[in-house]
Amino acid sequence: MLNRVAQSVIEAQRGQHKDVVFPYRGHAVETMNNTAWQNARTEAAQQDPYLGDLHVHDLRHTVGERLRAAGVSEEDRAAILWHSSKSITTHYSMARIAVLRERLDRIAEETADKREVPLAELLQAKPRRIPEAA
């Protein structure tokens, strides 16, 4: 399952090789942890040191987190990530810290108002927009 941008990249590659989507010098790429990936990671780390330790599999976590933040259901996240187990989908779709912090702050606010909040209401509450750290 691809979004429109990813699908357009795939379509642009069609016909360049009879068996693989992204050939390198006319051949299939045998491993993802090759020199090209390591060089790309090193170059990216010059912009953001965190990216120096980025692994291909980390990108799967990023997709899972973004799907969850976008409100995509667990069932749909599992289908997109090709998971047969809910526990694996949950692992790849951890909540963002800002959302969790906001919900914890809401507990404090509601307690200050002396109003009890049912847990289900708290967990299903739509998060307010929190500005990204600069």
Q: Domain coordinates of the chain in residue numbers?
A: 95-134
Distance CA 2, CA 61 (A): 16
Model confidence pLDDT, tens digit, residues 63-76 = 888 888 888 888 88
Extract the tokens encoding 26: 């006319």
Model confidence pLDDT, tens digit, residues 39-91 = 988 998 999 888 888 887 788 888 888 888 888 888 888 888 887 777 776 66
Task: Note the pTM of the prediction, 2 decimals.
Answer: 0.50
R_g over Cα of the chain: 20
Distance CA 48, CA 44 (A): 6
Cβ count within 10 A of residue 36:
11
